[in-house]
Amino acid sequence: MERINKFKLVLWIILGIALAAGITRFIFGLGATTNLSDTTPWGFWIGFDVMGGVALAAGGFVIAAFNYIFGRKEFHSISRAAILTAFLGYVAVVIGLLFDLGLPWNIWHMIIFWNPHSPLFEVGWCVMLYLTVLFLEFMPVVLERFPNLHLLSKIHKVLTKIRIPLVVLGIMLSTLHQSSLGSLFLTMPYRLHPLWWSPILPVIFFVSAICLGLMMVIVENMTSSYLYKREFEENILGKLSRIAVYLLLFYLVLRFGDIIIRGAGIFLFQASWGTYLFWLELALTVFIPLIIFIIPKLRKQPNFLYLGALSGVFGIVLNRLNVGGLTHLTNLTKSGSFYFPSWLELSISAGVVSLAMLAFFYFIENYSVWDEKPKDIDSEPLTVPKFNTNYVYLGPTKTANRVKFSFAFVIAFGLAFALISGKHIYSKGFDKTPVYKARGGDTLLIDGNRNGYGVMFPHKFHGDSIKIACGKCHHLNKPKDKNTQCFECHNDMYLTGDAFRHDWHTSAQGANLNCFECHKHNVNKGEEFRGNMAAITKLCLKCHNDLFPADVKVKILKTYVTLSYTDAMHKLCINCHKERLAADSLLRKSKPGLALCSNCHPKPAQYSAEHKLFTKQNVNKWVVVPPRLK
């Protein structure tokens, strides 16, 4: 069994590297080890480990459905391996997720603190439940190795009895959360590229997961057969590929139909990163597999069959990556750069996959997953009392090989640690996102971070027509200024800021003040002010009597820490809109959606038209007011 051992050696090396990367991630945090940022908080791990992983595991429920629900008994012989793949796939998803979560030790929170409005809540619960179901579905394979232990064989009996309900439950849970991973992205029409964002994203996710499930079974079966020099189930895999043809055609119609009906067709033929990724994804997912699976001559050759299935697997994993992070628009429009995972991110993902594969081989060798022996096995045959006579055991790995594997693992671990540079160890801190002036005239285009997604704010209308006092919004001024614009103090798009700047007041480049201008001689630690905002405000007003605009009534600062620009806007605008709606029944009739996101943010239907107005080149000479605000 040379092939399999060489392959395992590689996996152990990857695992060693991943362990070093994983330790670094947990000691020094996400900011230090990944290329993720505030603008791209979801990257490779979510795209590949979680969304790709869940989709890759779809083979389990697809084969189980064929086998037990549709009564296609010919799939029986591959169902154990498919369920094992799904089970290990889900374990890998959970392990991968632990690396991505900021506070992984809080992962149990969703069990107790329910937020039923969140799609992630559903995904989390489904993953948890389905993992349990898969565990119970696979358990009999492990238990049947111990037929002499009374308790275990009793459990085995019970589990075999409830197999059908388990399978049904598993299919239900899979259906729910394969699709709700898509629902998750329904909330971000402004972030996701229009070729991917769609109201039927859940359906697209579900259909593609079934396609992927079929192809994954083919890939998994042929790979392990190759590695163990075993005849693969040519007949069954051929059948699967023929079923896949119909599904792929359906998927193709679904994707293009959706894009054209939504009016996103113009994006199909653009010279842009998103468009290239789209065609690459579709070629891999649909075109290559379809050509191979439809032409019998190609389909009958194992090499081509494998190529077709592998291409499909890559294609749909690329789809999840695209949705999960690669095509989020802000990455591109903002700085012209796009997110690419760091080598630590990549190696941790590779490590998780390697771990799952090694576990897969372990189960294949020590439990009866296959019903037919490979041609040559050089390891000692396992003498286990045969409980289930249809299946075979291959036997454990030889000691000499185990020594080799451990050695490779340790060396790889050490080398990777040496390669992790200081750069990864010192955190990058938070990304600052400076904010800029609003532009326009009577209607302002508020687009603080200049990312092309702004809000049309009818400024004059609020002042003149609704008669809102200037000071209701312009609540604080900089010294010697009037109507100071919000961005001067709320000066980061997403982070809080400091409107006082203690050290600037004392520095020579700043106000150049002596400590004692503010602090008493005997108390030079600032304790007389600490936390006492009334005293601090009084102090500020001593030097800046123009800090508060004349029409502001309560002249006390609550704090000098400013909200982020986005929060300041939302708190001001949405709160007032809500209050007015609650107070004014006429307004409730004429503008029921005043406090909804869509009142201020462009709607998906207007998105592509307005997007053009907001492009980088246009935005500085922006003059047009879209019709809805005129």
Residues 321-350 within binding reach of ligand HEC (CB under 6 A): none
Rounded Cα distance between 603 and 607, Å, is 6
Q: Considering beta carbons, is residue 480 or 553 the nearer one to ligand HEC?
A: 480
Q: How far is Cα 506 from Cα 523, in angstroms, rounded to an integer? A: 17
CB of 201 to ligand HEC, least distance (A): 17
Asked if residue 316 lies in contact with residue 47, where contact means CB atoms within 8 angstroms, the answer is no
186 binds ligand HEC (CB under 6 A): no
Q: How far is Cα 123 from Cα 130, in angstroms, rounded to an integer?
A: 10
Shortest spacing between CB 447 and ligand HEC, in angstroms: 4
The answer to whether 599 contacts ligand HEC (rule: CB under 6 A) is: yes
Task: Convert residues 37-56 into a mask of x (bound to ligand HEC by CB under 6 A) and - (unbound).
Answer: --------------------
Shortest Å distance, C-beta 523 to ligand HEC: 9
Given CA atoms 30, 491, 616, 265 in this order, what sign does their dihedral have?
Answer: positive
Q: Does 539 bind ligand HEC (CB under 6 A)?
A: yes
How many CB atoms lie under 10 A from the CB of residue 124?
Answer: 19
Q: 574-580: long-range contacts (C-beta < 8 A, 24 or more apart)? A: 576/468, 576/472
> Which residues have CB under 8 Å from 143's CB, separation 6+?
152, 153, 155, 156, 159
Task: Single out the residue of 290, 569, 602, 614 in contact with ligand HEC (rule: CB under 6 A).
Answer: 569
Q: Which of 111, 159, 96, 153 is nearest to 354 (CA)?
A: 96
Residue 286, token pair as written in the block: 């649909």
Fill in the amino acid letter for 321: L
C-alpha dihedral (437, 442, 443, 449), degrees to nearest 10: 0
Residues 506-535 touching ligand HEC, rule: CB under 6 A, are 506, 511, 513, 515, 517-519, 525-526, 529-531
Q: Which of 199, 331, 205, 329 is nearest to 270 (CA)?
A: 329
Among 171, 180, 144, 138, which residue's Cα sits nearest to residue 65?
171
Specify whether the CB–CB gap between 600 and 455 falls below 8 A. Answer: yes
CB of 123 to ligand HEC, least distance (A): 20
Residue 148 or 617: which CB sits closer to ligand HEC?
Answer: 617
Q: What count of other Cβ atoms lies within 10 Å of the Cβ of residue 504?
A: 13
Nearer to ligand HEC, 161 or 502 (CB): 502
Stretch of residues binding ligand HEC (CB under 6 A), selected from 77-85, 94-102, 121-129, 598-606: 598-606
Our finding on whether 161 is near ligand HEC (CB under 6 A) is no
Distance CA 440, CA 425 (A): 45
Least distance to ligand HEC, CB of residue 199, Å: 17
Contact 270, 236 (CB under 8 A): no
- Closest distance to ligand HEC from the beta carbon of 437 (Å): 6
444 contacts ligand HEC (rule: CB under 6 A): yes
What's the distance, Cα to Cα, between the start and end of the chain in Å?
75
CB 247 within 8 A of CB 214: yes
How far apart are CB 351 and ligand HEC at their closest, in Å?
A: 34
Which residue lies nearer to ligand HEC by CB, 276 or 461?
461
C-alpha R_g of the chain: 30
The closest residue (CB) to ligand HEC is: 526
Tokens 């602090």 belong to 519
Confirm if 570 and 599 have CB atoms less than 8 A apart.
Answer: no
Which 414-443 residues touch ligand HEC, going by CB under 6 A?
438
Please select the residue that binds ligand HEC; options are 543, 605, 609, 624, rule is CB under 6 A: 543
Q: Which of 226, 500, 606, 608 binds ligand HEC (CB under 6 A)?
A: 500
CB-nearer residue toward ligand HEC: 345 or 447? 447
For ligand HEC, the closer of residues 396 and 626 by Cβ is 626
Q: Could you tell me the smallest distance in angstroms from the CB atom of residue 163 to ligand HEC?
A: 45
The amino acid at 37:
S
The window from 23-31, 276-284, 369-377, 498-506 that contacts ligand HEC (CB under 6 A) reads: 498-506
The reply on whether position 101 binds ligand HEC by CB under 6 A is no
Shortest approach of ligand HEC to residue 288 CB, angstroms? 38
Q: Which is nearer to ligand HEC, 399 or 617 (CB)?
A: 617
Question: Residue for token digits 């579709």?
Answer: 282
Cβ nearer to ligand HEC, comparing 219 with 573: 573
Binding flag, residue 445, ligand HEC (CB under 6 A): no
Residues in Cβ contact with 199 at an 8 Å cutoff, skipping those fewer than 6 apart: 186, 262
CB of 75 within 8 A of CB of 236? Answer: yes
Query: Tokens 């506070």 sit at which residue?
Result: 103
The residues in 456-495 that bind ligand HEC, with binding defined as CB under 6 A, are: 457-459, 462-463, 466, 468, 470, 472-480, 483-490, 493
Q: How far apart are CA 24 and CA 126, in angstroms?
A: 30
The answer to whether the beta carbons of residues 216 and 289 sit under 8 Å apart is no
The correct pick among 193, 320, 424, 577 for binding ligand HEC (CB under 6 A) is 577
Does the footprint of ligand HEC cover residue 253 (CB under 6 A)? no
Q: Looking at beta carbons only, is 8 or 450 nearer to ligand HEC? A: 450
User: Which segment (77-85, 249-257, 421-429, 497-505) binds ligand HEC by CB under 6 A?
Assistant: 497-505
Per CB under 6 A, the segment of 6-14, 150-158, 409-417, 573-581 that binds ligand HEC is 573-581
Cβ proximity to ligand HEC: between 208 and 562 the closer is 562
- Closer by beta carbon to ligand HEC, 170 or else 452: 452
Q: Which is nearer to ligand HEC, 402 or 555 (CB)?
A: 555
The verdict on 76 binding ligand HEC (CB under 6 A) reads no
Q: Which of 448, 506, 191 is nearest to 326 (CA)?
A: 191
Burial class (CB in 10 A: 0-12, 13-18, 19+), 72: middle
Q: Which stretch binds ligand HEC (CB under 6 A): 82-90, 274-282, 373-381, 503-511?
A: 503-511
Closest CA to 474 of 463, 466, 465: 463
Number of residues binding to ligand HEC, judged by CB under 6 A: 83
Choose the binding region for ligand HEC from 225-233, 268-276, 357-365, 571-579 (rule: CB under 6 A): 571-579
Of 402 and 542, the one with the shorter C-beta distance to ligand HEC is 542
Q: Are 365 and 397 in contact (CB under 8 A)?
A: yes
| Shortest Å, Cβ 361 to ligand HEC | 45
Select the residue interacting with ligand HEC from 267, 601, 608, 626 (CB under 6 A). 601
